[in-house]
């Protein structure tokens, strides 16, 4: 059953979501999320094999050269295709995905050890600064979206944590490793983002090296990381189950970095995520509030939820930021049918006004998504509405 599900995701759902999905919900958001789940599904039997047949240094080598490359490949696909290429498609730019050797094999056989894959974008006309900013930040945006979304199934039971670590720590290492001065040769996403931000506002202090490093340190404030790396470290349990925790996140918006605090409230199968956002851009102070609920109403095997977002940011007009500030927001209804212990069917219908919201267009839009979801515990505990850890 799991093998068939993997085949379905890889050869049916992902291409459909990437090519003909309605709105943006079916592209960056679901594509980035499902690359995470596929990596877990492929790796799970390898974890079992490693536990039974390897030991000592053999375990480390098996993980380094078999399991980690799987996560590296799908994380690169997530970062490049559902990140950079997605934003390029929004602006109708020709883009080509080039996949190379995954980590750690790229250390030995590639000429540039920093690259496991990349997207080549063709510009037939000069891009605006806003387009450049979105394109440069899109890879980290997709990684962060997946890491944040991945926490929802993790709250329903212990899960494999390799992909979670890569999702959370790859931007951390990315910023630290690429926060030097702009220079010639190969430059990573953060450097290009900084350069575009400086040029847009004609301000050499638009985003300093120190600021970029503080963004990286923001991740270290995340107790969610330590909660799931070790069973023994759960800093916010109340009683025998995890009822409250928080996590950190940030996005590189067209106006500058936007920091977020995600507060998780869990009661039985109902999950609430409250997220205040704050961004101190080059010329503007922007922010907002998001509230996400899952399984708010439960009827048999079906759970109903919602997403609500508000923001105050520089006005967006046809994808371009203006100098005036404006309020905006979005709302979506969500339903999930838990017809199997392993996976569920999720549907979402929503609308957003013009403005920056991670994973979506800057323009106003109605979006619709339907697809398989994996709210399960890979290590065996049932997370359906009628079972598991209440």
Sign of CA pseudo-dihedral 192, 195, 199, 203: positive
Residue 351: both structure tokens together: 């609308």
The whole-chain average pLDDT of the chain stands at: 74
| pLDDT tens per residue across span 234-261 | 444 444 566 788 888 888 888 888 888 9
- Stretch 195-202: mean pLDDT, rounded? 83
181 pLDDT exceeds 80?
Answer: no
| pLDDT tens per residue across span 154-171 | 665 555 556 666 666 666
Q: How confident is the model at residue 208 (pLDDT cuts 50, 70, 90)?
A: confident
Taking alpha carbons only, the member of 62, 144, 64, 61 closest to residue 102 is 64
Distance (Å, whole) CA 24 – CA 42? 26
Tell me the whole-structure pTM to 2 decimals.
0.80
CB-count burial class (<10 Å; 0-12, 13-18, 19+) for 322: exposed
| pLDDT tens per residue across span 10-33 | 555 555 444 433 333 446 877 777
Lowest mean pLDDT among 5-14, 67-76, 289-298, 340-349: 5-14
For 73, 78, 81, 112, 259, the CA distances from 99, given in Å and listed in that order, are 8, 11, 10, 13, 31
| pLDDT tens per residue across span 285-327 | 889 999 999 889 988 889 999 999 999 988 754 444 556 788 8
Neighbours of 328 (CB within 10 A): 19
Distance (Å, whole) CA 256 – CA 166? 24
pLDDT reported for residue 219: 76
| Residues pairing with 306 in the sheet | 293, 333
- Classified as helix, coil or strand, 262 is strand
CA 372, chain centre distance (Å): 17
pLDDT reported for residue 297: 92
Distance (Å, whole) CA 274 – CA 258? 16
Q: Using an 8 Å Cβ cutoff, are 334 and 346 in contact?
A: yes
């Amino acid at each position: 059953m799991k093998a068939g599900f993997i085949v379905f995701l890889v050869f049916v759902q992902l291409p459909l979501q990437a090519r003909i999905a309605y709105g943006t919900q079916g592209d960056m958001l679901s594509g980035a999320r499902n690359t995470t789940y596929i990596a877990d599904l492929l790796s799970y039997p390898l974890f079992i094999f490693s536990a039974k047949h390897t030991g000592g240094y053999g375990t480390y080598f098996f993980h380094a050269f078999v399991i980690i490359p799987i996560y590296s490949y799908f994380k690169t696909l997530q970062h490049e295709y559902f990140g950079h290429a997605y934003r390029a498609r929004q602006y109708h730019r020709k883009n080509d995905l080039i996949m190379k050797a995954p980590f750690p094999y790229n250390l030995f056989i590639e000429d540039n050890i920093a690259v496991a894959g990349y997207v080549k974008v063709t510009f037939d006309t000069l891009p605006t600064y806003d387009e450049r900013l979105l394109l440069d930040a899109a890879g980290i945006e997709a990684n962060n979206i997946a890491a944040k979304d991945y926490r929802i199934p993790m709250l329903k039971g212990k899960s494999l944590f390799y992909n979670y670590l890569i999702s959370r720590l790859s931007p951390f290492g990315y910023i630290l490793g690429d926060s030097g001065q702009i220079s010639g040769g190969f430059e990573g996403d953060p450097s290009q983002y900084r350069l575009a931000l400086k040029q847009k506002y004609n301000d050499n202090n638009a985003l300093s090296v120190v600021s970029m490093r503080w963004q990286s340190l923001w991740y270290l404030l995340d107790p969610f990381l330590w909660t799931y790396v070790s069973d023994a470290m759960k800093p916010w349990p109340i009683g025998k189950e995890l009822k409250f925790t928080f996590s950190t996140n940030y996005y590189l918006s067209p106006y500058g970095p936007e920091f977020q605090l995600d507060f998780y409230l869990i009661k039985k199968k109902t999950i609430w995520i409250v997220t205040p956002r704050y961004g101190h851009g080059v010329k503007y102070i922007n922010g907002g509030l998001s509230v996400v609920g899952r399984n708010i109403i439960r009827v048999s095997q079906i759970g109903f939820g919602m997403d609500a977002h508000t923001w105050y940011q520089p006005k967006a007009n046809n994808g371009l930021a203006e100098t005036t500030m404006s309020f905006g927001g979005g709302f979506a209804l969500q339903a999930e049918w838990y017809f199997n212990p392993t996976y569920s069917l999720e549907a979402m219908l929503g609308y957003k006004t013009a403005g920056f919201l991670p994973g979506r267009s800057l323009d106003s839009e109605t979006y619709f998504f339907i697809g398989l979801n994996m709210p399960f515990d890979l290590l065996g505990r049932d997370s359906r509405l009628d079972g598991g850890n209440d």
